[in-house]
Amino acid sequence: MKVLLTGAFGNIGFSALQELLQQGHTVRCFDKRGRQAEKKALQVEGRAEVIWGDLRCSDEVAMAVQDQEVIVHLGYIIPPQIEEDLEAARQVNMDGTRYILEAAQQQSQPPKILFGSSLDVFGFTQNHPPPRKVTDPVQVTDEYTKHKLYCEARVRNSSLVWSIYRFADVPPLAPRRPHPIMYKIPLDTRFEMLHTYDAGLAIANGISCPEIWGKVLLVGGGSTCQVYYRDYLGRILDAMGIGMLPVSAFGHDPYCTDWLDTEESERLLHYQHHSFDEIIQDVAKYAAPPALVKLLMPLIRPLVRRWILRLSPYIAK
């Protein structure tokens, strides 16, 4: 099957790309050129077509859409980067999705589209019994959910055959610098994770599954990946040699995340292969400090903790 994959060198995108190639699909990658993207592109050189472009350019999008059977649209600016330039994010997320839909609908044989959304669209639900279901109401709570719900509506109302995946939290297998957003999630928040490889498998299995089309599916790790935020963060901080941070550093305002009912998506897609412990093991490989830093960590831990805590908006500087 000929598949256009936007955001092909992002977190979920690259996992989907590898699985799509493994399953024998002909993949056209559309992404913005950058150092990390170029490194990943080299790994699939000769096996996938790469078109460097910008979702904000309708002509570039139209060229990428030509002669495809399925579009997997993952290219998006997500939190926390979305807050750095709201207008650029709107153009990439909302205009970019619109350009894809318009170009696809103009094809003589329009492709199907699988759109990657997020569980964030359910809003603040910690005061409701879990898990979240596809039939639960959605709500705009910030720019990100505004963009996702706008795009979901555009996809549903298009003339294309469509499917929408609302993903749980998918931590990347890559080094990440601490960011103030980590403190905005209350520690007792219900938190569902999904291994990036399982996310990629759900996409690759999905495009060949007749039953996904016309449906919204909740895609998460399942019961073995339903934890609380303190469990996830504590394990990662331990892997970094830092240890759990004080409760006073974290906020109490509700955050858009929860456990999901993934029974239908697992029945259709057979993708849930990694547990919470396995996710942590893989993420920890990238979170763990280099050998020399690890050796010195007992000495420098107080300084590192102080530096990370300075990112918290809840602790007096």
Average pLDDT over residues 34-41: 97
Average pLDDT over residues 153-159: 99
How far, in Å, CA of 253 to CA of 251, rounded?
6
Residue-wise pLDDT tens digits, 44-73: 999 999 999 999 999 999 999 999 999 999
State whether the Cα torsion 138-190-141-71 is positive or negative: negative
How far, in Å, CA of 112 to CA of 159, rounded?
10
Count the Cβ atoms, other than its own, within 10 Å of residue 202. Answer: 30
| Model pLDDT, residue 292 | 64
Options 3.30.465.10, 3.40.50.720, 2.40.10.230, 3.10.580.10; CATH of 2-177+192-224+256-274:
3.40.50.720
Evaluate whether 205 touches 271 at the Cβ level (below 8 Å). Answer: yes
pLDDT band at 297 (very low <50, low <70, confident <90, very high): confident
pLDDT at 146 over 60: yes
* Residue 167 CB contacts under 8 Å (≥ 6 apart), including other chains: 12, 116, 117, 118, 119, 194, 199, 219, 220
Q: What HEC string does 101-150 produce?
A: HHHHHCCCCCCEEEEEEEHHHHCCCCCCCCCECCCCCCCCCCHHHHHHHH
Least confident piece of the model among 3-17, 184-198, 203-217, 280-294: 280-294
How far, in Å, CA of 61 to CA of 74, rounded?
13
Least confident piece of the model among 95-109, 259-273, 278-292: 278-292
- Delimit the domains of the chain by residue range: 2-177+192-224+256-274
Length of the chain counted residue by residue: 317
Average pLDDT over residues 31-40: 97
pLDDT band at 244 (very low <50, low <70, confident <90, very high): very high
Residue-wise pLDDT tens digits, 3-32: 999 999 999 999 999 999 999 999 999 999
Provide the whole-model pTM: 0.95
DSSP string, the chain: -EEEEETTTSHHHHHHHHHHHHTT-EEEEEE---HHHHHHHHHTTTTSEEEE--TT-HHHHHHHHTT-SEEEE-----TTGGGG-HHHHHIIIIIHHHHHHHHHHTSSSPPEEEEEEEGGGG-S-TTSPSPB-TTS-----SHHHHHHHHHHHHHHHSSS-EEEEEE-B---SS-----GGGGSS-TT-EEEB--HHHHHHHHHHHTT-GGGTT-EEEE---GGGEEEHHHHHHHHHHHTT--PPPGGGS--S--S---B--HHHHHHH------HHHHHHHHHHHHSPPHHHHHHHHHHHHHHHHHHHTT-TTS--
| Model pLDDT, residue 241 | 84
What are the CA-CA distances from residue 82 to residues 92, 246, 256 (Å)? 10, 28, 15
| Model pLDDT, residue 121 | 99
Average pLDDT over residues 275-279: 97
